[in-house]
Amino acid sequence: MILAGDVGGTKVHLALYRFERGALEHVRDQKFPATKYPDLVSVVREFLAAGGPGETIDAACFGVPGPVRKNVIQLTNLPWLLDSRELSAALGIEHLFLINDLEANGYGIAELGPDQIFSLSEGDSSLVGNRALIAAGTGLGEAFLIWDGKMHVPMASEGGHCDYGPNSDLEIELLTWLRAQPNMDNHVSWERVCSGLGLRNVYTFLRDVKRMEESAELRERMQHDDPNAVIAQWGESGKSELCARSLEIFASAYGAEAGNMALKILAHGGVYLGGGIAPKILKTLQAGAFLRAFCQKGRMEKLVSQMPVRVILESRAALLGAAAYAESRAAEISGSSLRSASIHIRS
């Protein structure tokens, strides 16, 4: 049995997987509010305690936000210092690994079926090569998937924190307004526009600076419900011009940075949109602003337009990737593969 985890600043998502005919099969999963626990060990122990006696853990992997150095990471939004060796000893799991959360998403792509991916642009699907992964969620995650001739090897990145680059007069106004906000320290990253936080920033800018109308009903919903969910729902349905315009600006910036990644790594193998936002705004992504900004690269426009763009629909992609990584690394160390064994048993 494989234990997989997706550790975020607000929640920890854990899952158990086993292999059937060489493919990962979901057993069970559960989400935990991270701030209510003193450490990750407490969360994992509660999750495992809810299972049955047959749930023996062979390997585990946790995708975590930020760079993992020497098997250790200090989480930014939680007072948790994670050390894979200490976790392994405390949980009694011999093969336990920590990897970047976007790296986990990258490994998860290979585990997805056609129904778990939406094609935003076909491009030239005959091309083979590197892939780019960009995921707008709570923050903006980025990763590169390097093609080594046999498989795609995910490489973590913190590119979401690079300088935001506006591409229109309105976006220049947005940048100027963002720079003036007290928490920016004169540095506006792509994450400040292309993320859950960024979507709220765009909405606030349009409401307060451009004076777009926020109805009383919308104001109440924004105060009592998840603001990003409200913007997505009201914008996608056309119920609010303010929300629809917020989504359009968000999508344009998202497309521009996705195109930047495509150029930097020559993503002939495609650009993948992960995270929780893209599947909820497919109508907006198909409307045109995203792909216009993605392809608007001057002399490189033809090159970028040939690169496929795909949206990951599966919300457990990072968990699948963490599970796949755990099995693969454990097999390298032990010389015994659960994936291969599942194929041999059924053949």
Take residue 218 and report the two structure tokens written for it: 């919308």
The pLDDT of residue 21 is above 90? no
% of the chain at pLDDT higher than 70? 99
The residue whose two tokens read 């979507």 is 199
Q: Which of 195, 203, 189 has its CA nearest to residue 273?
A: 195
Q: Tell me: the pLDDT tens digits for 56-84?
A: 999 999 999 888 999 999 987 789 999 99
Report the C-alpha gap between 328 and 88 in whole angstroms.
17
Rounded to 5°, the CA angle 171-174-176 comes to 115
Confidence of residue 117 (pLDDT cuts 50, 70, 90): very high
Report the C-alpha gap between 310 and 188 in whole angstroms.
27
Take residue 9 and report the two structure tokens written for it: 């600043």
Query: 27-36, 42-51, 219-228, 332-341: lowest mean pLDDT where?
Result: 332-341
Average pLDDT over residues 239-254: 98
The pLDDT of residue 347 is above 50? no
Length of the chain: 347
**CA quadruple 75, 80, 83, 89: dihedral sign:** negative
- Average pLDDT over the chain, rounded to whole? 94
pLDDT, residue 341, reads 87
Report the C-alpha gap between 197 and 247 in whole angstroms.
13
Confidence of residue 4 (pLDDT cuts 50, 70, 90): very high
What would the DSSP string read from start to end of 129-172?
Answer: S-EEEEEESSSEEEEEEEE-SSSEEEEEE-GGGSBP---SHHHH
Rounded to 5°, the CA angle 74-79-82 comes to 40
Would you tell me which CATH number, out of the four given (3.40.640.10, 3.30.530.80, 3.40.50.300, 3.40.367.20), belongs to the domain 119-312?
Answer: 3.40.367.20
CB 330 within 8 A of CB 341: no
CA R_g for the chain: 21
The pLDDT of residue 343 is above 60? yes
The residue whose two tokens read 């991916």 is 117
Q: Which of 140, 126, 118 has its CA nearest to residue 65?
A: 140
The pLDDT of residue 168 is above 50? yes
pLDDT, residue 10, reads 82
Confidence of residue 211 (pLDDT cuts 50, 70, 90): very high
> How do the domains of the chain map onto residue ranges?
2-111+316-346, 119-312
pLDDT, residue 216, reads 97
Report the C-alpha gap between 71 and 58 in whole angstroms.
19
Helix axes of 196-208 and 169-179: crossing angle, nearest 10 degrees:
100
Take residue 43 and report the two structure tokens written for it: 């969360």
pLDDT, residue 344, reads 67
Helix axes of 196-208 and 241-265: crossing angle, nearest 10 degrees:
130
Average pLDDT over residues 95-102: 95
Q: What fold is seen in the domain 2-111+316-346?
A: Nucleotidyltransferase; domain 5 (3.30.420)
Q: Tell me: the pLDDT tens digits for 255-297?
A: 999 999 999 999 999 999 999 999 999 999 999 999 999 999 9
Report the C-alpha gap between 302 and 322 in whole angstroms.
35
In angstroms, how far is the first alpha carbon of the chain from the final one?
20
Confidence of residue 8 (pLDDT cuts 50, 70, 90): confident
Average pLDDT over residues 189-196: 96
SS3 268: coil
pLDDT, residue 67, reads 87
pLDDT, residue 345, reads 53
